[in-house]
Copies of this chain bind each other. A is one copy, B any other.
């Protein structure tokens, strides 16, 4: 696979995620948008004209173009698996939004195919690329807080997603908390041995779907480390994304950010502006960084920072978290079928 100096990208899906990938592509020298694909032809045509690139309604069209160097999958969730497999089959590197598929088998298939075809496959665990979270993880690795004892990940969405979105989201564990499991793996380099979840629902429509919108997960690790994840589908005050890491020598916290840094002092107190409203602004830099990393991999062969094992483990923990809530009891992580019956060599458990 000879990669030219300038990378030509095909973008599948022009929805929410597609939009900020366009923004990222434009801001990175050496990457060009060569083609946009969406089932909505008028949308695809309009954007293609604005961005001076080709368009198609057929996700397979770009795969036949020799000058297209890689594919970004930002289509609706249920399309991911098929598009990833087809693109890898056609010899195109893939950068995809999570999830890869709806089962562990599909995940394994994607990575297996990428491995066989020697093609990069990057999953968009965007938070790993956030400057504050990656700085925190680096600090932990450098020993700034000593031996880890207690971690906390807080993720509260804003605004409340549409019910259409939530209906096809695979539930709060696979849609949201999977990111938090990945953050813990990213920061600690370890997997928990026990998981316990308790959840509830304050939004009637979410409750009607049998889904949760308010969840606490407790995780126990070998060696005594403990972690908690608390997640909510909606924070009125903005997109609340924080991590706290407590260790023998100190504590590292990654705090929320506001787009504006003013303070108003008055008889009412000291008022600062609201934090970032939602993920496109909160993670703008993270989205850009993950694309930089992907293009560095294509051009220079640098290794990708999200491994098959990373994606498997966050999926497994999402399944276990869901099950723990359903059965109202803690579960041993090694009791998960994928870990019980076929011990993997590269697994840390």
Binding site for B on A (CB under 8 A): 23, 26-27, 29-30, 50-51, 131-132, 135-136, 139, 144-147, 149-150, 152, 156, 194, 196, 198-202, 214-216, 218, 220, 224-226, 228, 230, 232, 235-238, 240, 246, 248-275, 328-330
> What's the nearest-Cβ distance from chain B to residue A285, in Å?
8
Question: Chain A at the B interface: mostly helix, strand, loop or mixed?
Answer: mixed
Set of chain B residues within 8 Å of A253, measured between Cβ atoms: 262-263, 265
Give the 6 A-B residue pairs with the shortest CB-CB distance, closest first.
Answer: A200-B224, A250-B266, A237-B265, A251-B265, A270-B272, A255-B261
Known: A27-B27, A236-B267. 10 other contacts (CB 8 A): A29-B51, A131-B260, A149-B200, A199-B226, A228-B230, A237-B250, A238-B265, A252-B265, A268-B274, A271-B272
Pair A132/B262 contact, Cβ less than 8 Å:
yes
- Measured between beta carbons, the chain B residues less than 8 angstroms from A267 are 236-237, 250, 274
- What are 30 of the A-B contact pairs (CB < 8 Å)? A132-B262, A135-B262, A135-B273, A145-B266, A149-B200, A149-B232, A150-B216, A156-B246, A196-B198, A200-B225, A202-B248, A216-B228, A232-B246, A235-B251, A237-B270, A240-B251, A240-B265, A251-B264, A252-B262, A252-B263, A253-B263, A253-B265, A254-B262, A255-B262, A265-B274, A269-B272, A270-B273, A271-B272, A272-B272, A329-B330
